[in-house]
Amino acid sequence: MTLARSGPLPDEVPADRNGAFGALAGDDAGRVTPMMEQYLEIKAANPDCLLFYRMGDFYELFFTDAEVASRALGIVLTKRGKHLGRDIPMCGVPVERSDEYLHRLIALGHRVAVCEQLEDPAEAKKRGGKSVVRRDVVRLVTAGTLTEDTLLDARRNNYLLAIARARASSAESGSQFALAFLDISTGEFRVTECDSAALGAEIARLEPGEIIVSDALFGDPELAPYWRSLPAVMPLARDVFDGATAERRLAAYFAVTTTEGFGTFSRLELTAAAACITYVERTQIGRKPPLSPPSREAPGSTLIIDAATRANLELARTLAGERRGSLLSVIDRTVTAAGSRLLAQRLSAPLTDPESIGRRHDAVEALLMDAAARADLRARLAAAPDLARALARLAVGRGGPRDLAAIRDGLTAGADIAARLAGLAQPPAEIMEAASALRDPDPALAAELAAALAEELPAFKRDGGFVRAGYDAALDEARALRDESRRVVAALQARYAETTGVRALKIRHNNVLGYFVEVTAQHGEKLLGPPHNGVFIHRQTLAGQVRFTTTELADLEAKIASAADRALAIELDRFERLTALVTAAGAGIKRAAEALAVLDVTAGVAALAVDHDYVRPEVTQTLELIVEGGRHPVVEQALRGGGPFIANDCDLSPPSNAVCGRIWIVTGPNMAGKSTFLRQNALIAILAQMGSFVPARRARIGIVDRLFSRVGAADDLARGRSTFMVEMVETAAILNQAGPRSLVILDEIGRGTATFDGLSIAWAAIEHLHESNRCRALFATHFHELTALAAKLPRLFNATVRVKEWQGEVVFLHEVVPGAADRSYGIQVAKLAGLPAAVIERAKIVLAEIEAEDRTSPARRLIDDLPLFSAAARAPAAPREDPAHAALLKAIAVLNPDEMSPREALEALYALKLKAAQKDG
């Protein structure tokens, strides 16, 4: 694309962007022009943003901004005039395509201040030759405050998160945090509190586009490294997080006298919520996104899942960072963007209250039973546009005609759906509530929009033509005039062709000349001479054409322009009035949008359950966890067409006369299906608690309050992401935090170090889980020594994944059965992987030798010496290797008796004796 400008340019901008730049630049003497003064002033007010400075059809960037942006966007960096004796670097992006460039800059972590021209350049000129067009920043574009479809992922929420901290009152109590988060593109606004242990998990759940914190919190020595590890954390001055003014700022935004009507909030929560609001006001500059009043999430109301566990279980994306292959991607059967967002939200924050979960299950069940209603509902939903985002754009003045149409179509679809739902036999509460929210908006609004909007709609309101003919009499009149004049132009062209005898004569239009008469060069002479030169006034000679104007044409042009201007002005006025109607009904539209999303998610889950044979789980307040015939939702779908997925049972419920749940040790060779089995049970618990049905024959889940999942370092090392240290830090977090309601998944912990180290760590970790955490857990391991623990720990249970050996080959049956694996089958697996036969044979010999030596395994002794009720308290000393002993062995190893003389042998013996004496002494 070319960067050349078209259209009339404001006087202050050189017609050619590469030409002289007198208006902005000062001179070598260091004088600063008025325009430069304006630029510097605006830039000084927005030091942490790249400044998009509007000049005609371009946003221009200068100085360092230009250098940064040209590098980030790969656009040409030019020089323009001088400031204080030095060249001014500059680059620019065309306004028409600015979204695309904004998107890239935001994705790279920049913030952009968009500075517009606030008056017509002609106005400025009237004030005198040297006047500068009035400009100001109309919006800050930041990662957490986006509204444009082009800048957002339709299927994900984009949260702005404010974090406020209350310092610990004592050393033990730890800091308390309030989190307020909102999505200005949908209007959701919530607050919650958590302690420092859960802070990371909360942030991982929300995946905010941007986080704001106070300067003090940002600089906190303990947290600073954590902030740096997150994208887009913005420190703000203390006033934004001022608790004293928080409630007042919140109330002012929602135009109420007190926030009490919204619920009861702690002072810390109000502080975080007000910080969000103040930041929205600062970035949107005078525009008010249609936010819902803040609603409070009670702490503990959702399942806490930390970032590592989310990554590990591949909930919203795979370890490679893709949506495809994640749990979300295989369960997402929604047909609308809003439904997709809600599903992602529910998956990221499963509930902990069996009753609320049951309500969701009831709704799914109702739509599962009624296939016809489900199909009809989904077909209608598919036609419903993204109401919430269209509404938000209209409210902040960034809407277009298509957003009005989205409101029209969304409300109409909603009313239709509500009518259909009335036909459901015994609709459950969740569906009844949705239906009532859909009936709520006044049908007159959709009718008004339907009457006003044309069939075909332009992308931008400035293009005009979106108001239906017959809707506004004055508009129809202006349009008739404009179109009539266009017919007159056509007639004029015919007349001129006739009088001049130039058949190819055309009347054309461009933005620089306006209307003009054009003939080929060959006819040009004719019009330049008498008698035609009395009528035709020369404007321009090009290589092949000559262009003229006439008085008549100029008059006509003025008429056309004024009629078109008038028509557009009327349309824009209509647009504003319709937008005002829509925003006035905003609260109801938002509720309808939420209802559509709920129905979409519910019908989608029902469809998933039907297609893949999922069942309704029973969710209880107990500590049970029984899965019969469970499957891994993702592996199962990936296997389609390949072999069947082997369903497996799991039972972590407390054994009879025990209070706490069980720990399963799962052994079996590599590739047997251990990791798959572990994860599928965690995923089933998540699915159950988010309100979905589950891939199993039957499932009974006692509420899980915290979920932990870790994989041994060896798995992670392959991805170059982790080390043994990280594995241990994460394991430490689990052992320190898991409680009796937690579910812990440990996959091959201890693998990232030497065998005996690893075995010891795994051993001690299991004892700790059993004795101190007392949680439900699944522990996969290739250390089969660990299975011996079951003899002493009453809630430990051994399971193994069956394999069959057949003619020296290993066959994976993927079947989990009680018992312990007797061996690893590592060599058989290596053989399957294609290791050379010689290596396999040699490995077998080495293994046989090692196994012979290992008969006196230390595991036997440890079993008889279990620190049963003191595992947490006692820290047994680690066995140390004795260097003197090793040196002695080494000295013996280098002796070669066959080549020694008797005397040498005797001397060597004395030397060894001496060494041994030193060791003991």
CB atoms within 10 A of CB 846: 10
Question: If contact means CB under 5 to 8 A according to the sort of partner, which of Mg ion, ligand ADP, none does residue 673 touch?
Answer: ligand ADP
* Among the residue ranges 52-60, 485-493, 650-658, 667-675, the one whose residues contact Mg ion (CB under 5 A): 667-675
Q: Which is nearer to Mg ion, 142 or 675 (CB)?
A: 675
The DSSP bridge partners found for residue 710 are: 746
Smallest distance, Å, CB 679 to ligand ADP?
Answer: 8
Spell out the alpha helix ranges (H) of 440-550.
443-452, 473-500, 521-528
Question: If contact means CB under 5 to 8 A according to the sort of partner, which of Mg ion, ligand ADP, none does residue 781 touch?
Answer: none
Residues that bind ligand ADP (CB under 6 A): 635, 645-646, 648, 668, 670-676, 814
As given in the structure block, the two tokens for residue 888 are: 């002695």
Chain position whose Cβ is nearest to Mg ion: 675
* Among the residue ranges 15-23, 453-461, 672-680, 717-725, the one whose residues contact Mg ion (CB under 5 A): 672-680
334 scored as a contact of Mg ion (CB under 5 A)? no
Smallest distance, Å, CB 689 to Mg ion?
Answer: 25
Contact yes or no for 366/431 (Cβ under 8 A):
yes
Question: If contact means CB under 5 to 8 A according to the sort of partner, which of Mg ion, ligand ADP, none does residue 635 touch?
Answer: ligand ADP
The single-letter code of the amino acid at 114 is V
CA distances from 790 to 624, 626, 658, 796 (A): 20, 20, 15, 5
800 scored as a contact of Mg ion (CB under 5 A)? no
Chain position whose Cβ is nearest to ligand ADP: 673
The contacts found for 351-355 with CB under 8 angstroms, 24 or more apart, are 351/301, 351/302, 351/303, 351/689, 351/690, 351/691, 352/300, 352/301, 352/302, 352/303, 352/689, 352/703, 352/704, 352/705, 353/301, 353/703, 354/619, 354/620, 354/621, 354/703
What does the angle CA 837 – CA 841 – CA 845 come to, to the nearest 5 degrees?
165
Question: If contact means CB under 5 to 8 A according to the sort of partner, which of Mg ion, ligand ADP, none does residue 795 touch?
Answer: none
Question: If contact means CB under 5 to 8 A according to the sort of partner, which of ligand ADP, Mg ion, none does residue 672 touch?
Answer: ligand ADP
Q: Which is nearer to ligand ADP, 266 or 637 (CB)?
A: 637
**Which DSSP category does 594 fall into?**
H
Q: Which is nearer to Mg ion, 158 or 675 (CB)?
A: 675
Element (H, E) at 176: strand 176-182
Q: Which is nearer to Mg ion, 409 or 747 (CB)?
A: 747
Out of 214, 675, 680, 828, name the contact with Mg ion by CB under 5 A.
Answer: 675
Question: If contact means CB under 5 to 8 A according to the sort of partner, which of Mg ion, ligand ADP, none does residue 668 touch?
Answer: ligand ADP
Collapsing DSSP states into helix, strand and coil, what is residue 61? Answer: strand
Question: If contact means CB under 5 to 8 A according to the sort of partner, which of Mg ion, ligand ADP, none does residue 602 touch?
Answer: none
* Residues of this chain, 215-234, that bind Mg ion according to CB under 5 A: none
709 scored as a contact of Mg ion (CB under 5 A)? no
Smallest distance, Å, CB 314 to ligand ADP?
Answer: 13
Smallest distance, Å, CB 699 to ligand ADP?
Answer: 16
**Which DSSP category does 535 fall into?**
T
Smallest distance, Å, CB 762 to ligand ADP?
Answer: 15
Question: If contact means CB under 5 to 8 A according to the sort of partner, which of Mg ion, ligand ADP, none does residue 464 touch?
Answer: none
292 scored as a contact of Mg ion (CB under 5 A)? no
Q: Which is nearer to ligand ADP, 381 or 816 (CB)?
A: 816
Smallest distance, Å, CB 662 to Mg ion?
Answer: 21
Smallest distance, Å, CB 664 to ligand ADP?
Answer: 14
Question: If contact means CB under 5 to 8 A according to the sort of partner, which of Mg ion, ligand ADP, none does residue 70 touch?
Answer: none
Smallest distance, Å, CB 738 to ligand ADP?
Answer: 22
* Among the residue ranges 361-369, 674-682, 686-694, 827-835, the one whose residues contact Mg ion (CB under 5 A): 674-682
The contacts found for 1-4 with CB under 8 angstroms, 24 or more apart, are 1/94, 1/97, 3/58, 3/92, 3/94
Site size toward Mg ion, by CB under 5 A: 1
Smallest distance, Å, CB 674 to Mg ion?
Answer: 5
Question: If contact means CB under 5 to 8 A according to the sort of partner, which of Mg ion, ligand ADP, none does residue 645 touch?
Answer: ligand ADP
For strands 176-182 and 189-195, give the pairing.
antiparallel
CA distances from 825 to 382, 403, 832 (A): 51, 62, 11
The DSSP bridge partners found for residue 628 are: 698
Collapsing DSSP states into helix, strand and coil, what is residue 556? Answer: helix
Smallest distance, Å, CB 745 to ligand ADP?
Answer: 12
Q: Which is nearer to Mg ion, 280 or 745 (CB)?
A: 745
676 scored as a contact of Mg ion (CB under 5 A)? no
**How far is 293 from 262, CA to CA, in rounded Å?**
6
Smallest distance, Å, CB 814 to ligand ADP?
Answer: 3
Q: Which is nearer to ligand ADP, 58 or 812 (CB)?
A: 812
Q: Which is nearer to ligand ADP, 259 or 681 (CB)?
A: 681
CA 27 distance to own-chain centroid:
48
Smallest distance, Å, CB 675 to ligand ADP?
Answer: 3
Collapsing DSSP states into helix, strand and coil, what is residue 549? Answer: strand
DSSP states of 308-359: HHHHHTTSSS-TTS-STTSHHHHH---SSHHHHHHHHHHHHS-B--HHHHHH
787 scored as a contact of Mg ion (CB under 5 A)? no
Is-cis flag, bond preceding 443, omega within 30?
no
Smallest distance, Å, CB 636 to ligand ADP?
Answer: 8
Biggest CA pair distance of the chain: 136
Collapsing DSSP states into helix, strand and coil, what is residue 9? Answer: coil
Q: Which is nearer to ligand ADP, 635 or 843 (CB)?
A: 635
Q: Exposed, middle or buried, 752 (CB in 10 Å: 0-12/13-18/19+)?
A: buried
Question: If contact means CB under 5 to 8 A according to the sort of partner, which of ligand ADP, Mg ion, none does residue 676 touch?
Answer: ligand ADP
Q: Which is nearer to Mg ion, 386 or 747 (CB)?
A: 747
- Binding residues (CB under 5 A) for Mg ion: these are 675
